[in-house]
């Protein structure tokens, strides 16, 4: 594990690996932040976006994910921030790197990234007492040569997140996000990995509420002004079942098919939603056009479908 200067505030798990305060939380109580708390979240989320963009700019074939961990760690320290994953439940690195069939929580290592890989970069920062959390899936190498199935799962996941965010406003039931995500995923022949969901985030890393990404879930509660939480769907090209590697962190698809994930930290406002980790105009790794499907071709030719 890389070290963080003592002058930077550390979360309570930095030494023991145990998030004690988080484990004591009342899971039925959802925090609503006041103006000061909301401004603190804007600041840490802005810093998190800066760090993710720095990482994305480094992506190219031939580098290792451990190199990206070093870049992330240094960028966090430069911003007087602690990388939230570091020693969280004994996670050994400063970010999660999940290539190809890795669903989530991949540990940076010496694997060399290859042209044609897809890679999820999941970063979290702790700054002045508040956490930020975001991730994106990127194409490694020549985007124009990425195989169509990889583009399908990446761009569909990106769209699922955008469609869920569009629902966020005061009064929206938390259970509604999963329905729109699963419907769109199925329309593109992708499956939702239901094990993982979004979560609250503020002075704690993973407080309530839990945000399911699948339809017909039983999540309770509605969005209220001042709530801050993440939505972070994971879609797979094959089965939604996962298995763990022996490191007890790296979570992969049982059939080896590729997956993608996207995540934003959100603030519910009086009238809608503020995407605190929104992409900037010059953020690397934006969307690319979906490959044409047989249905698209038929529609272009004037055909109809049942």
Domain ranges in the chain are 29-276
Strands of the sheet with 259-261, listed across from one edge? 191-192, 234-236, 259-261
- The per-residue pLDDT for 299 is 42
Is residue 217 over pLDDT 70? yes
Residue 226 φ/ψ, nearest 5 degrees: 100, -10
* Angstrom distance (rounded) from CA 177 to CA 296: 27
- The per-residue pLDDT for 293 is 61
- The per-residue pLDDT for 144 is 81
Q: Is 105 annotated as a binding residue?
A: yes
Q: What is the mean pLDDT of the chain?
A: 94
- The per-residue pLDDT for 301 is 41
Q: Is 127 annotated as a binding residue?
A: no
- The per-residue pLDDT for 21 is 96
- The per-residue pLDDT for 46 is 98
Q: What is the mean pLDDT of residues 263-279?
A: 98
The CATH number of domain 29-276, selected from 3.40.50.920, 3.90.230.10, 3.30.1330.40, 2.60.40.10 = 3.90.230.10
Residue 304: pLDDT band by 50, 70, 90 thresholds? very low
Q: Is 213 annotated as a binding residue?
A: no
* Angstrom distance (rounded) from CA 77 to CA 63: 22
Identify which has the larger pLDDT, 7 or 145: 7
Q: Is 263 annotated as a binding residue?
A: yes
Whether the predicted model's global pTM rises above the 0.85 cut = yes
Q: What is the mean pLDDT of residues 140-164?
A: 95
Q: Is 133 annotated as a binding residue?
A: yes
Is residue 303 over pLDDT 60? no
Asked if residue 134 lies in contact with residue 52, where contact means CB atoms within 8 angstroms, the answer is yes
């Amino acid at each position: 594990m890389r070290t963080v200067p003592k002058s930077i505030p550390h979360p309570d798990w930095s030494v023991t690996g145990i998030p004690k305060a988080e484990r004591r939380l009342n899971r039925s109580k959802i925090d609503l932040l006041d103006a000061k708390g909301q401004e603190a979240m804007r600041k840490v989320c802005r810093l998190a976006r800066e760090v993710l963009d720095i990482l994305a700019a480094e992506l190219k074939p031939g580098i290792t994910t451990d190199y990206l961990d070093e870049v992330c760690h240094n960028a966090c320290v430069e911003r007087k921030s602690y990388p939230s994953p570091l020693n969280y439940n004994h996670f050994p690195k400063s970010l999660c790197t999940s290539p190809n069939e890795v669903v989530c929580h991949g540990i940076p290592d010496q694997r060399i990234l290859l042209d044609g890989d897809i890679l999820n970069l999941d970063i979290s920062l702790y700054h002045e007492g508040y956490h930020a959390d975001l991730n994106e899936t990127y194409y490694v190498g020549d985007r124009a040569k990425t195989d169509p199935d990889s583009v399908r799962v990446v761009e569909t996941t990106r769209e699922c997140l955008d469609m869920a965010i569009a629902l966020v406003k005061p009064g929206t039931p938390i259970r509604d996000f999963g329905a729109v995500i699963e419907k769109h995923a199925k329309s593109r022949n992708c499956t939702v990995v239901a094990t993982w969901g979004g979560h609250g985030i503020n002075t704690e890393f993973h407080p309530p509420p839990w945000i399911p990404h699948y339809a017909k879930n039983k999540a309770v509660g509605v969005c209220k002004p001042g709530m801050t939480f993440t939505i972070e769907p994971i879609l797979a090209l094959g089965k939604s079942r996962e298995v763990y590697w022996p490191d007890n962190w790296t979570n992969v698809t049982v059939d080896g098919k590729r997956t993608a994930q996207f995540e934003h930290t959100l603030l519910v406002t009086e009238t809608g939603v503020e995407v605190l980790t929104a992409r900037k105009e010059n953020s690397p790794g934006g969307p690319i056009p979906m490959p044409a499907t047989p249905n698209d071709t038929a529609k272009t030719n004037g055909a109809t479908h049942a």
